[in-house]
Chain A
Amino acid sequence: MKVHIKHWHAIAQWRWDIGKNDEDDDGEGDVCGICRVPFEGCCPSCKMPGDDCPLIWGECTHVFHMHCLLQWIGTAASKQQCPMDRRPWVTAERKVDAGNPR
């Protein structure tokens, strides 16, 4: 039997690698805690997700849309603290390894 392929559609999907092994481990998916939009979406001031609206990692392991986090850190009320745990915000060099305990 000979098969002739007439058409094909390539489909690709992408996700930010946020260092979590299992998806949706908290049942609500991975959303930015500030704007509540999925990480793969974009922050409210952006129009296109992806490299234009990247994520930012803190040394406390918390992840946000970079624009959301920077806006918060820019307010006096933030006292430069992580919005999750109130530890001083220190941007991590790169994402925390998936194998590390969180």
Chain B
Amino acid sequence: MIKIWSMKKNEDQAAKKKPKTSAAQIRVQKDLTELDLPPTMKTHFPDPADLLNFTLTITPDEGMYKGGSFVFQFNINSNYPHEPPKVKCTQVIYHPNVDLEGNVCLNILREDWKPVLNLNSVMVGLQYLFLEPNADDPLNKEAAEELKRNREQFIYNVKTSMRGGTIKGVQYNKVTP
């Protein structure tokens, strides 16, 4: 018993010397090894040593956003998983749930976040927005109105925006190859 206690002291000291890996980093590492992404999603790490800042590219293979390539920036702070990752779209896109600054309206990125969710859940949630844009909770009100009023026109606008066209005075980024 005495020996165990002295071992414990030694371990405490050893742990103090080691460079500290933050709780967020440990958790993100686990999330990343458990990622199970469909071929329509790819992550990219500009700095491979930095797991907390990376991009996700979504290329929907069905739905009205098919053919586009949408890039999201993920920034994870040290409170993860107690706080959700910060996710922004890096392009100006025409989508009811994404504003022109790239802010994304997805429930699990805001009020419905809980720490048992992981990066996989967030990524799958993002992809879902491109399959089922949601007009009830809009960040781009123009786009949401159009989706409610005239679905055909909305789909036409999506195609125009993805080619880099202009809708109601707003020029959108070209997201097609």
Contact = CB atoms under 8 A, between A and B. Distances in A.
Contacts, number: 46
A44 B23 contact: yes
27 contacts: A33-B115, A33-B116, A35-B81, A36-B27, A36-B31, A36-B118, A43-B23, A44-B22, A44-B23, A44-B27, A47-B11, A48-B8, A48-B11, A68-B115, A71-B82, A72-B114, A72-B115, A75-B82, A77-B82, A77-B111, A77-B113, A78-B114, A81-B114, A83-B114, A83-B116, A84-B114, A84-B116
A80 to B, nearest CB: 12
A86 B107 CA distance: 14
Interface string A63-84: 0000010011001011001011
Contact of B116 (A34, A43, A45, A48): A34
Nearest to B84: A77
Interface of B: 8, 11-12, 15, 22-23, 26-27, 30-31, 81-83, 111, 113-116, 118
Given A34-B115, A72-B82, A86-B114, A45 B30 contact: no
B66 to A, nearest CB: 34
Contacts of B115: 33-34, 68, 72, 83
A76 B84 CA distance: 13
Tell which of B8, B12, B31, B81 has the most Cβ of chain A within 10 Å: B81
Contacts of A77: 82-83, 111, 113
Interface SS, A side: loop
Contacts of A84: 114, 116
Interface in A20-41: 33-37
Given A34-B82, A48-B8, A81-B114, 15 more contacts: A34-B116, A35-B26, A36-B30, A36-B31, A43-B23, A44-B23, A45-B23, A48-B12, A71-B82, A72-B115, A77-B83, A77-B111, A78-B114, A83-B114, A86-B114
